[in-house]
Every structure is written in C-alpha cells, then in structure tokens.
Structure 1
Amino acid sequence: MAVELRHLRYLIAVAEHGSFTRAAEELRISQPTLSQQVKQLERAVGVQLLDRTGRAVRLTDAGATYVHYARGALRDLATAERAVMDLADLSRGHLRLALTPTFTAYLVGPLVAALHTAHPGITLEVREMPQDRIEAGLLADDHDLGLAFQGPHLPGIRATALFTETLGLVTAADADPGPLPVRDLATRRLALLSGDFATRGHIDAYLAAHGVRPDIAVEANSVQALTEIVRRTDLATVLPDAVTHDHPHLRPVPLDPALPSRTVTLLRRESAYESAASRAFAELTTRLVHTRGYLPAPAGSARAAAGVDQAADAP
C-alpha cells in the first residue's frame, strides 16, 4: 500500500493529542476509521509507530523519527502549493502576519490600509502573540512574516530592522506638552499595561532605575483600553509615542531622562519561500515607516542574532 498524505496527517494528530478519540474529533472522522488508517501506515512502513499500551498513546522511537520527517514533508508541500499559487503580478495572494500586541495600536492599521489600497487581491491573516511564539511559528511555517523587536533571536530567524520605537508619557491633548522630569511621575495617577506585558516590564525597570514608585490607578491588558481611559480622564499612561499619531485627542509628553528605545524588526525564517505578497508587504512597511517619520533604526541593528528568545508583549 502506498503512503498517502492523509496517513501522515492522521499520525501527527494522534501524536499531538495522545489519544485516538481526541484526534478523531479534531479530524472529524470516526475513531475506528482513524485507528485503521494508522495501522495501514504502520504496515506500509513496516514498523510500529505508536505505543498503545499506556493510558495515553505515545510515539515509539521509530514513530518520533517518522513524525519529524512527516511534519517536514507536509510543511514543504504547503510551501510548494503557496509558491504555485503565488502570482508575481500580485493580483492575488495570501499573507500570514504575526505581531506583538502593542503594534495593533499604531502600526497594523496603516499597514493593512496601505496593502489593501496597493494590492486589493492579497488576503491577510493577522495574529497577535508573544515574540517567542512568533519566532517558533515562523520556524514551523505557521506565519510568513513577524513584527516584533530586535533580538536575540532563535537560530534560523532573520531580522530586518525597520525603525526605532520611542516611549513616553501619553496624556489628553490639552495637557502640558512637557518635557516632564521622571520624578514627577510619582505624583501623577497612571493607567498602565498589566504586568504580563513586556512593555510594562520595560516601564517598571525604567521607573525603578530612577527611584520612582508610581501611583497606578488602572491596569489594563489592552492598549486600546488605555487610550480610551486617558482620553476621557485625567489619568496618563506610558506607551510608544507613535500611538498618538492617529489620535488627535492624545498628546505624547517626553520624559526626562527618556525611556530606553527599542528597535522594531521584520522577522522571517531564513530558508522560507518568500512570496510576492511577502515582498510587497515588506516594501510597503519600509515606505510607510519612513513616510510616518519614525526614527531610523540604529546602524548595525539589522543583523539577526542567535540565542535566547527576547520576551515580548503578551497578554
């Protein structure tokens, strides 16, 4: 019997769930059918791939090796299908973009608008997630591109520096334009991102370094929530300055000394097929950050570094 793609997908599903029942539910086939198909695969390759003797179904050593290559085969096939469907004239295409959450507040909207205007035939899938998950997803071919911060990065990830993100106090538009000495934040009531955001850790470290204990009136797990709160109250927040670009009711107030800046990068898998849609999006991104006047990235920051993941915003 020849091995078919469904056999690979079925085996991988059982391995991931550790259960024929749960895998069958995900695959929307009956459990007996799934079991029969996996047995067919085992007969075809001539070895036992699953250990069914325990409470959970586990891969045998041979099964783990087979699944490793099966995943690679399915990933390569998906890449081949996208390459065939990709048209250089950009009359159609699909792009899978992953990004850390703060970019939804000021960057993803203008980027999507620019892409839709220039190439309306390209469909876009946008997902928010922490940076370590973005990089793992790129390596697994779950995403085409990622928007995050400069490394260190996982081996196999290529980073292209886009611009420098600056952070400061964000207040209602009628507030004093500053600059504001950092010590004055001890007397300002603040609304900040919750502690599970890396941006909040960045802010906390800055305040602690200057001996400031902030008066936190509100914590939120959404940048959009913070901008609405600041707009309608006398509270202030600390966010990327660029958040105010499309919000006339908000004003950026520089702090003295300034918060450490961060380099925003476009991430790719080094060996990935780069579709016409990916190339178009990268070019649009470069033009847009220049048009909007974001600070250039520091010289030399475009190199991708291998090593331990950098934490990134994640609710």
Structure 2
Amino acid sequence: MVLMALELRHLRYLLAVAEHGSFTRAAEDLHLSQPTLSQQVKQLERALGVQLLDRSGRTVRLTDAGEVYAGHARRALRDLAAAERAVHDVLDLSRGHLRLGVTPTFTAYLVGPLAAALHTRHPGIGLTVREATQDRIETALLADELDLGIAFAGPHLPGTEATALFTETLSLVTGTPPDATTTAPEPLPVHALEDRQLALLSGDFATRGHIDAYLARHGAAPRIAVEANSVQALTEIVRRTSVATVLPDAITDDHPALTPVPLDPPLPVRTVVLLRREGAYHSAASRAFTRLVRELVRERGYAPAT
C-alpha cells in the first residue's frame, strides 16, 4: 500500500510540472518545496529508466516518452477517482455526490428547482454545480471532472453522449412598465431591433452565438450596449433600464418584472440536452438526478425535444 501511494504521488507530481511548465509554480501549487518536487520526479524517471521532462529550456516540457507516460497517468488517475466514487456510491441514495455543469441560462430557471427536488427527495446526496461555457463543460466531462452537464444539442466533442430533454424557446425581453396591460405585445419585426439597445451574454457563451447567428441571417445590426457573463446581471439591467435582452421564455414566465416580446421571424428554438461522458460510470446519484430532470421537465410543461 505504501508503494502504491508513492507511485500515485509521483504521477500527480509529474502531471503538475507538465501543466505548469515549471517546477517552481508546480511546487507552489502542490505546497511542496521545489527541491523536494524535483527529487520526486527524478525518482520516477530513474524507476522508469527514461527522461520524462525536458529541462533545457525556459519552460519545462514533457519529452516524447513523457507525453506517452503522462497520457496513461491521466487516465489511470481518472479511473482511480471513478473507482473511489463507485465504492462510496450507495444504491439506497442515503449518501453520494453529484457534480453538475450547466450553461448560464439554466442557472436562472432550472438549477434551483432541480437542486430543491434533489434535496427533498434525496437529502443525503451532495451537489456541486459549476456554471461554464458548453465547451468547458464537455471538456470537464471527458476529464471526469463532472458527472453530468446540461447544455444544448451539438455538435459535441468526441466521447460526449447527449440525451435530448426539451425544447427551449427565446424572445426579446424588456422591463415591464408600471402601467403595463395583460395584453400580449405584438410581434416585433427583426429589423426594428436596429433602433434598440441590447444587453447580451458575452461572445464565449452558446446563447450569444445563437442570437448572433439569428441577427446575421436576417441582416439586423442592433447596438450591443452591454455584455455580461451572468443572466442575473442581464435581468437586473433590463428591469431597471430601457435596454432589452434575449432570454429563454422559461425565465420570463417566472419573472413578473420582465416582458417577453416575440420577434418576427421568431428566434429559432434550441434542444436542451443532458450530457455525460460515453462509457462513464453511472452512479446511483446521477441516475436519480436524471430521473428528477425528466420529471421536472414534464411537470413544468416544457415543450418536448424535437
């Protein structure tokens, strides 16, 4: 057991140096002294009889042999972490943990109800939620840093499995004026957006790409007055100013201070998907969460996936 622990430590040390490109920065991250870290990596190289790191340049790099070894090391550590979770996975759901990644719009209307349902139904299961762009979610799934992700239909990174959940519709959104009537607003021609100021998510998010593609397709060029990386920031800005935004109808349906305005032609719908890594271990917690997602989609009456 001591030898196994020592070998695992060697793997983590090697990968840390490769990631940081520096013994000094890796040592700081690992809370080790630089000489200790250097000695440990040299022990690994002596045991293997091959040089794993090129120390000749300003940046420490993996040698060709090091690249091959590091690839196997990453997979081994990932599989061991999955094995530990499998050992601690309890089928009666009295304990467990789920790591979930979501793109920003879902934080505004889906994560809260899902977390509440999970806590009510299975209070022993812990939940970690990471809000990130879709490409980062898929990368994290492939690296076994997340168990599940909620995002949009493809294209997806190879090795990512996507299961359709529901169809998301979007509208232009404005603040609700104090004297607003209950009559639904008339559809707004897309070219009328050129006279409006918009607040949108920043360009690295899938929702922004979806909106930009729609505007470009119809030759509309509104003024982008605000960019934000938070849906909550957008809703606060729109609620307090004359600036408009574009949000899923599921958000505005629950927000009396916001008014959805249909566009003509309408914004294209999007298919919401549940993401996981192909071949990944499906814990009891992830299976229970998947069932809860499907139940909540039905209860809320979201449009079926197309």
TM-score by length of 1: 0.88
* Residues in 1 aligned to 2:286 and 2:175: alpha-carbon distance in whole angstroms: 37
Q: What is the CA distance between 1:152 and its match in structure 2? A: 1.4
Aligned length, in residue pairs: 298
Q: List per-residue Cα deviations over 1:244-294 (Å, max 9, x = no partner).
A: 132122232222221111101000011111111111111111111111111
Partner of residue 142 from structure 1, selected from 128, 142, 145? 145
Shift in CA distance, 177/233, structure 1 to aligned 2, threshold 3 Å:
farther
Which portions of structure 1, spanning 4 or more consecutive aligned residues, are displaced by more than 6 angstroms?
none
Pair 1:31-2:34 in alignment: yes
Q: After superposition, what is the alpha-carbon deviation per residue over 1:84-127, rounded to whole angstroms, capped at 9, x for unaligned?
A: 00101111111111111121111111111111111111111111
Q: Give the 3 Å change call, closer, same or farther, for CA 42–169 of structure 1 in structure 2.
A: same
1:171 positional shift: 2.5
Give the alignment of 1:254-265 within 5 angstroms.
254-265=262-273
Label 1:89 to 1:208 Cα distance change in 2 as closer, same or farther (>3 A): same
User: Are 1:237 and 2:237 matched, yes or no?
Assistant: no
| The one of 84, 87, 91 aligned to 1:88 | 91
| Amino acid of the structure 2 residue aligned with 1:225 | A
In 1, Cα distance between equivalents of 2:224 and 2:244: 10
User: Does residue 215 of structure 2 align to residue 207 of structure 1?
Assistant: yes
Residues 230 and 272 of structure 1: CA distance in aligned 2, closer, same or farther (over 3 Å): same
Out of 278, 282, 287, the position equivalent to 1:279 is 287
The code of the aligned residue for 1:120 comes to: P
Aligned equivalent of 2:188: 181
Larger relative contact order (Cα-Cα within 8 Å, sequence gap ≥ 6)? 1
Q: Post-superposition shift, 1:217?
A: 4.3
Contact 1:106 1:245 in 2 (8 A): no
For residues 58-95 of structure 1, give each alpha carbon's deviation from its aligned partner in whole angstroms, at most 9, with x where no partner exists.
22222221111111111111000000001011111111
SS in 2 for 1:29: coil
Match of 2:156 in 1: 153
1:51 shift after superposition = 2.1
Q: Are 1:135 and 1:154, in contact at CA under 8 Å, matched by a contact in 2?
A: yes
Following the alignment from structure 1 to structure 2, what is the Cα–Cα distance between the partners of residues 4 and 194?
43
One-letter amino acid of the structure 2 residue matched with residue 93 of structure 1: G
Check whether the contact 2:134–2:206 (CA below 8 A) recurs between aligned residues: no
Q: What CA deviation, in whole Å up to 9, does each residue of 1:124-181 have, x standing for no partner?
A: 1111222111111111111101111101112211100001110112233426522313
- Alignment-derived partner of residue 135 in structure 2: 132
Contact 2:78-2:144 within 8 A present in 1 as well: yes
Query: Residue 179 of structure 1 contacts residue 256 of structure 1 at CA under 8 Å; is this kept in 2?
Result: no
Residue 294 in structure 1 maps to residue 302 in structure 2:
yes
Q: Does residue 27 of structure 2 align to residue 20 of structure 1? A: no
Instruction: Go from structure 1 to structure 2 and tell me whether the alpha carbon gap of 1:276 and 1:142 turns closer, same or farther (over 3 Å shift).
Output: same
Answering whether residue 106 of structure 2 is matched by residue 99 of structure 1, we say: no
Output the CA distance in 2 between the equivalents of 1:193 and 1:20: 38
What is the rounded CA distance, in whole Å, between the counterparts of 1:221 and 1:154 in structure 2? 23
Partners of 2:154 and 2:302 lie apart in 1 by: 20
The TM-score with structure 2 as length reference comes to: 0.90
Helix, strand or coil for the counterpart of 1:285? helix
Counterparts of 1:257 and 1:52, CA distance in 2: 59
Which of 47, 57, 68 pairs up with 2:50? 47
SS of 1:153's equivalent in the other structure is coil
Q: Which consecutive unaligned segments of at least 5 residues does structure 1 have?
A: 299-315
Alpha-carbon distance change, 191 to 22 in structure 1, aligned in 2, over 3 angstroms: closer
Q: Aligned in 2, Cα 1:203/1:28: closer, same or farther, shift over 3 Å?
A: same
1:311 is matched with which residue? none
Identity over aligned pairs, percent: 74
- Contact 2:175/2:238, CA 8 A, preserved across alignment: yes
Which 10-residue stretch deviates more, 178-187 or 52-61?
A: 178-187
Check the 8 A contact 1:144/1:278 in 2, yes or no: yes
Structure-2 separation of matches of 1:191 and 1:210: 19
Of 246-255 and 281-290, deviating more is 246-255
| Residue in structure 1 matched with residue 124 of structure 2 by the alignment | 121
Counterparts of 2:96 and 2:275, CA distance in 1: 19
Gaps of 5+ in 2: none
Sort the Cα spacing of 1:5 and 1:177 in 2 relative to 1 into closer, same or farther, 3 A: same
- The residue aligned with 1:313 is none
Pick closer, same or farther for the CA change 1:209–1:36 going to 2, 3 Å. Answer: closer
RMSD: 2.0
Q: 6-15 or 173-182: which moved more?
A: 173-182
Q: Is the 8 A contact 1:97 1:144 kept in 2?
A: yes
